[in-house]
Amino acid sequence: MCIFNIMKYDICVVSFSDIRFDGRTKNLIDALLYLEKKVIVISLTPINIFDDAVTHITIKTSLQRRVLFRWIAFYNEVKKCLKHIDYQIYWASDLYSLPNGRDKLIYDSREIYSALSSLHNSSFRQKVLTAIEKKYIQKTNVIITSGTRDSNYIKNKYQLKSPIYEIYNYPLYQEHINSNTIKQQLNIAENKIILLYQGVLLQGRGIIPIIDAIKEHSQYVLVILGEGGYKDTLKNYVDVLNMKDRVHFVGNIEYKELHQWTCSADIGLCNIEPISYSYQLALPNKLFEYILAELPVIATDLPALRDILYKKENNHLGIIIPADNKQNDIINALNNLVLSKNYYKENIRNAKHNYTYQQQYHLIKDILSAPELNSA
For the segment 235-271, what is each residue's pLDDT rounded down to a tens digit?
Answer: 999 999 999 999 999 999 999 999 999 999 999 999 9
CATH code, 301 = 3.40.50.2000
Query: In terms of domains, do 230 and 307 share one?
Result: yes
DSSP H or E run through 108: strand 105-108
Average pLDDT value for residue range 358-364: 96
| Cα distance between residue 213 and residue 323, in whole Å | 14
Q: Are residues 261 and 336 in the same domain?
A: yes
Residue 198 covered by a domain:
yes
Strand order in the sheet with 318-321: 247-251, 220-225, 193-198, 267-270, 297-300, 318-321
pLDDT category of residue 123 using cuts at 50, 70 and 90: low
- Residues 65 and 156 grouped into a single domain: yes
Quote the DSSP letter at residue 206.
S
pLDDT at residue 276 tops 90: no
Query: How many of the other CB atoms lie within 10 Å of CB of 352?
Result: 21
Residues 36-42 have a mean pLDDT of 96
Asked whether the beta carbons of 128 and 113 are under 8 A apart, the reply is no
Q: pLDDT category, 62, cuts 50, 70, 90? A: confident
Is residue 46, in this structure, part of any structural domain at all?
yes
- Consecutive H or E run containing 116: none
Banded pLDDT at 363 (limits 50, 70, 90): very high
Counting the structural domains of the chain, the total is 2
pTM: 0.91
Model confidence band, residue 121 (pLDDT cutoffs 50, 70, 90): low
Do 24 and 158 lie in a common domain? Answer: yes
Same domain for 91 and 191, yes or no, is no
Q: 3-state class of 165 per DSSP?
A: strand
Which amino acid appears at position 226 of this protein? G
Which residues lie closer than 8 Å to 50 by C-beta, 6 or more apart? 29, 33, 41, 56
Are 122 and 197 members of one domain? no
Domain carrying residue 272: 181-355
Query: Based on the domain organization, do 189 and 270 belong to the same domain?
Result: yes
| Whether 15 and 130 share a structural domain | yes
CB 128 within 8 A of CB 136: no
Q: Are residues 118 and 195 in the same domain?
A: no
Do residue 136 and residue 192 come from a single domain? no
Both 115 and 209 in one domain: the answer is: no
Residue 176 lies in a domain: no
Span 279-292, pLDDT tens digits: 677 788 999 999 99
Residue 67: Cβ within 10 Å count: 13
Asked if residue 3 belongs to a domain, the reply is no
How many C-beta atoms surround the C-beta of residue 376 within 10 A? Answer: 2
pLDDT tens readout for residues 12-26: 999 999 898 999 999
In a domain, 173, yes or no: no
